[in-house]
Structures are given as structure tokens and as C-alpha cells.
Amino acid sequence: MKRKQLFTLLVILIIAMMALAACGAPATEAPPPTEAPAAQPTEAPPPTEAPSQEGIEPAKEIVIYNWSDYVAPEMYDLFEQETGIKVIEDNFSSNEDLLAKLQGGAAGYALIVPSDYTVAIMIEEGMLAKLDHNNIPNLKNLDEEFTKMYYDPGNEYCVTYLWGTTGIGYNKDQLEKPPTSWKQIFEAQESDPWYGRMTLLDDVREVFSAALIYLGYDNNSTDEAQLAEARDLLINAKKGISGFDSDTYEELIGSGENLVAHGWNGDFLQADDEFGNIGYLIPEEGGTIWIDNMCIPATATPEEKLAAEMYINFVLRPDIGAMLADYTYYATPNKAALAEMSEEYTGNPIIFPPDEVRAKLRLIKPLGEFESVYQRMWDEIKAAQ
């Protein structure tokens, strides 16, 4: 081969190698950006995975601040057997008591049970911790209706515990004709058998709601003249009642000491279970409806918070939710629990009021600064002779 031919061959060979290298190149390049999402590095873990707070152990003991007669007694023992976490219960009698206690700096509560309007106030004031839904997989059992509540859409802070109504309970054995209107309560006559043998809730917003509804006003009125009218009505009504009571009124009806009480539906049904002589109705002018919630105070430690979330998850189990509903006779928001309940419960019109009664039920709403006017007039009612 001549030198020139050899040189030409070499050039061809080099060109061919370069072409070959160029062809192969794309194979080593990164995949086009449109294929990248396959890696999905930011996706959340499924909710059933282990709690996300690494290194945090649940508290060994928690204190739940709850209404009285508002849990199935065996629930705390069962929770302790299953988790080793001991539950201690402390009781409050009204949303205002609960709020004042926490605003006063009380710490040590891992779980509280405020009603709807009080949740709104507490969120506004930064008093609640956000829930870690990873620790509450049973949230899927909550009826969708309760994931859309105006005071906490999406259950960022709270999970509905139970809901119910406020009306009139009475002793069926001793009263042939119970009072069916607020007029017979607030303007009771000495000739009425329940005169002096009746209690009103020790609860500012509940009592004002009943009086305002009777007077034909909005139960969340912010008209001071209307409120003053309700206050005067209530001061006058004091002579016909034996007291304000939110904790023992239903037993006093059952025992026959009292004949009529303003109170909560489930409490009367519980007492009826015990005494077998109690009726309940929503007065013709209307009553209130409320939704109570499990929430964690912002003051809870991370360990208490984790234990409280485990307790919320426990309550949301179908069997535990059913146990709670069965004992308290309040309405459960847990659809998996509801599916386990008897017809006697699901068909009870005192627990699940029919539409014509529902139409007469009002929510108590948060009123901001104006709440202090209610409180001042409530103090005046309490102080009046």
C-alpha cells in the first residue's frame, strides 16, 4: 500500500469511528425531562405507615378534660390494656368553663372536648395543636359531613366526638302533660306541677339561646336590647326553678326530686336507661343542636400529643365508636360505628331528630367581643335575688 493510500484509509477509519461514537452517544444521555416523574421523590407515605415523629414515644399517662357522663366507662381501661397509656379524666360543665380554664394557663391536658363555636374561638386564639393525620388512619371512618364543619374544615385541629340536641327532659310517671313550650318554662305558674321542681342548664349560651328563641329572636343575637329582654325574662324565671345545673339534672328527674329539666338529649336517655321514667322533647319554638370535638391543646407536649392522637384513632375505630354511642346515647359521627349499631339506636328520634324537628334546631355561633355582653348579663342573672 502506497503512503497516500494508507493515509486515506486512516482518515476514513477515523471518520467512521467518530460517526460510530456519535451514534452511540444518546444512549448514555439522561432521559428527557418528561420521563423524570417516575422517581416520585416527594410523595407522602401512605397513612397506615408508622407515626412520623421519629424518636417520640407516647406519654405513659394522659389527662382528658371532658364533659361528665360522656364516655363508656370501659373505654379508658381498654385503651390502657392495648397501648399501656393510662387515661385520667377531669370534667368541666360548660364550654365557658373549659375556655376560662385553658385561658388561665392550665396545662397538662392532652385532649379536650369543646363544642363547635368554642373550637372556632380556640383556633382563632391559637389554643389548639394541628393534628398529624398520619397518626389517625381511622379518620377514614368519619362521616364526610363531619369533615366539612365551618369551624374546622378538613379536620385540621379536631375530630367530631358526638353530637346532640338541647331541649326539655321530664318525669313521665309524674307528669301526664309535660311542658311543650318555653313559655311554660320561663313563665311557669305556681299551679304548674314543675314550678320549683325544675332546673336550667348552668350554661350562658344555652340558656340565652332558649330565652331568645322563646322571645322570637335569633339565638345568636348581638342586639343589646334583645339580650336585656332575655335577661329580664330569665331573672323573673328564677323563682320557678330550683337551680342551674349541667351535671346532675337528669338523675334528679329520674329520682322524682325534680320534674322538668333543660338539658342534653343523651343525658336524659342515659338516665332513662337507669330509671325508666324519662321523656324528652324539643319545645315547639325550637332548641339548639351542637357538635362536640376531640382536640389537642397547644400546650400538650409532643409525647402527650402523640398519645392523644392514638386515643382519637382508638375512638374512631368501629367497635369503640359503637361502644361510645351505645353507652352515651349521643349521635355518632363515625359511619363505620353507625353500621354496627342496632335499629333501636339508629331509629331513635331523640338521637336522630326527624326533619321537622331538625328544622327548629339552631347552632350556637361564636360572637367575638360581644360574648362579654352575654357574660355580663349572665352574671346579673346569677346575682339577682
When asked if residue 290 is in the footprint of ligand N2P (CB under 6 A), the reply is: yes
Least distance in Å: CB of 112 to ligand N2P? 12
When asked if residue 152 is in the footprint of ligand N2P (CB under 6 A), the reply is: no
Which is nearer to ligand N2P, 264 or 327 (by Cβ)? 264
Distance CA 247, CA 176 (A): 26
Chain centroid to CA 54: 28
When asked if residue 115 is in the footprint of ligand N2P (CB under 6 A), the reply is: yes
- Per-residue binder mask for ligand N2P (CB under 6 A), 252-281, x = binder: ------------x--x--------------
176 close to 193: Cβ distance less than 8 angstroms: no
Beta-carbon count within 10 A of 4 CB: 8
Least distance in Å: CB of 174 to ligand N2P? 23
- Taking the alpha carbons at both ends of the chain, their separation in whole angstroms is 131
- Per-residue binder mask for ligand N2P (CB under 6 A), 17-56, x = binder: ----------------------------------------
Which is nearer to ligand N2P, 290 or 345 (by Cβ)? 290
When asked if residue 69 is in the footprint of ligand N2P (CB under 6 A), the reply is: yes
When asked if residue 292 is in the footprint of ligand N2P (CB under 6 A), the reply is: yes
Percent helix, strand, coil in the chain (nearest 5)? 45, 15, 40
Candidates 7-15, 39-47, 64-72, 152-160: pick the segment binding ligand N2P (CB under 6 A): 64-72
* Pairing outcome for strands 158-171 and 287-295: antiparallel
CA distances (Å), origin 201, targets 71, 94, 244, 292, 347:
20, 9, 5, 17, 27
278 close to 169: Cβ distance less than 8 angstroms: yes
Interface with ligand N2P: number of residues (CB under 6 A)? 9
When asked if residue 67 is in the footprint of ligand N2P (CB under 6 A), the reply is: yes
When asked if residue 76 is in the footprint of ligand N2P (CB under 6 A), the reply is: no
47 close to 70: Cβ distance less than 8 angstroms: no
| Site residues, ligand N2P (CB under 6 A) | 67-70, 115, 264, 267, 290, 292
